[in-house]
Amino acid sequence: MATIGGGVKTLADWAKERDPKGKMGKTVELLSQTNEILEDALYKEGNQSNGELVNIRTGLPTAYWRMMNAGTPNSKSTSAQITENCGGLVARSQVDTEIAEINGDVKNYRMNEGKAFLEAMNQEMGSTEFYGAASNPEEFVGFANRYSATTDANGQNILSAGGAGSDNSSMWLIGWGENTIHNIFPKGSKAGLEHIDRGIQEVEDDSGNNYMAYVDYWKWKTGLVVKDWRYGVRIPNIDISDLVSLSTSQATTASTFLPKLMARAIHRLPSRSGIKPAFYANRTVCSHLTVMAMEKTSSVLSIEDGLNQFGKDIKTLKFLGIPVRTVDALTEAEAVVS
């Protein structure tokens, strides 16, 4: 799949480079089946061992009109440096050798056990991508804690869907790019999830007694860089019950009707050139948008044929040409954003 610039790539692109036999590519494929943000997110190697030191422009220089025989004052842009840290997600499994060997196919048994760990780490990573908090220093700060109030500097990119109840969710529009928004991994490390087969080891049970077990270790180090907040748009306060019934805040005539806000979100992006944009919502929101596309109740929604990053045929929900992805980590119990 084509990437934006040479420094940022999808996990599948990184996997192809690090493992020509395709082993890691298969792992990435399994992950992306249940967390579609992994098909789009661009990853860049950080410039620090713990993440990325980022220069963010905070002000533009002043331009002047000049008359003949009159000089021009000097001006300059202003910028700030911040460090975006990576978090390390890990898991360890140990399986009694006799259990693994009982059916005579140790490799298949351990592979099936590994799929459970892939799913668990996938769900945790998806949740952290959106809800990671600075108050938990072992993880990285996610989107929701960066776009959390309409009164903040980036508040103009928060478009409320009008919900005020207890079943609210958010939809996101992210314009992935090397100079906009991307994920990172620590300098000198590997992108994506790593599996380390530690073989047979002597381990302890809950009573402190030893037995022999197959041991596997999983680790995934990554962080999130929002270099230009204008390329992220949050549509919070989507009342799920209103969306299901297409009433109140989600009546088709309401100004907060989700497709209307999606159109507004697109125009919050400074440019669609040089980025890879995608919408993200949970399964309930995506399913109702799909129904709208099928019933043609919203002509800007469409279901189109396409290929995913692994070359497989897929049906893709799109809004004005931008893919709409499913992320189960986005909950339906968000606090109202104001």
**DSSP of 176-236, one letter per residue?**
E-TTSEEEEE-TTS-SSEEEEEEEEEEEE-TTS-EEEEEEEEEEEEEEEEES-GGGEEEEE
Residues of the chain with pLDDT > 70, as a percent, come to: 88
* Average pLDDT along the chain: 88
pLDDT surpassing 50 at residue 1? no
How far from 160 is each of 46, 78, 335, CA to CA, in Å? 34, 31, 12
Span of 18-27, 142-151, 220-229 with lowest mean pLDDT: 18-27
Banded pLDDT at 134 (limits 50, 70, 90): very high
State mean pLDDT over 101-122: 84
Cβ-based neighbours of 287, under 8 Å, separated by 6 or more = none
Q: Pick the more confident residue, 315 or 75.
A: 75
Q: What is the mean pLDDT of residues 226-236?
A: 97
Report the range of poorest mean pLDDT among 16-20, 39-43, 189-193, 331-335: 16-20
1/10 Cα distance (integer angstroms): 8
CA 39 to chain CA centroid, nearest Å? 9
Domain ranges of the chain: 11-57+83-326
Task: Give residue-wise pLDDT tens across range 50-66.
Answer: 999 998 877 889 999 98
Name the pLDDT band for 2 (thresholds 50, 70, 90).
very low
pLDDT at 230: 96
- What is the band of 276 on the pLDDT scale with cuts at 50, 70, 90? very high
Q: Tokens standing for 226?
A: 């929002």
Q: What is the pLDDT of residue 18?
A: 56
Neighbouring residues of 337: CB distance < 8 A, sequence distance ≥ 6: 148, 149, 150, 158, 160, 170, 234, 236, 237
The predicted structure's pLDDT at residue 237: 98
Q: How confident is the model at residue 22 (pLDDT cuts 50, 70, 90)?
A: very low
Strands 210-226 and 87-96: antiparallel
Q: Is the pLDDT of residue 74 over 90?
A: yes
Q: What is the pTM of this model?
A: 0.86
- Structural contact between residues 130 and 144, judged by C-beta atoms closer than 8 angstroms: yes
Q: What's the confidence (pLDDT) of residue 241?
A: 97
For residue range 155-188, what is the model confidence (pLDDT) as tens digits? 999 999 999 999 999 999 999 999 999 999 999 9
State the Cα–Cα distance between residues 84 and 269, nearest whole angstrom: 22
* pLDDT, tens digit, 9 for 90 and up, residues 300-319: 899 887 666 555 666 789 99
Please write the tens of the pLDDT for every residue from 235-262. 999 999 999 999 999 999 999 999 999 9
18 — phi, psi (to 5°)? Answer: -85, -20
pLDDT of residue 38: 80
Fill in the DSSP letter of residue 158: B
Statement: residue 44 has pLDDT above 60:
yes
Token output for 311: 């070359």
For residue 210, what are the CA distances in angstroms to 95, 200, 236?
A: 13, 13, 51
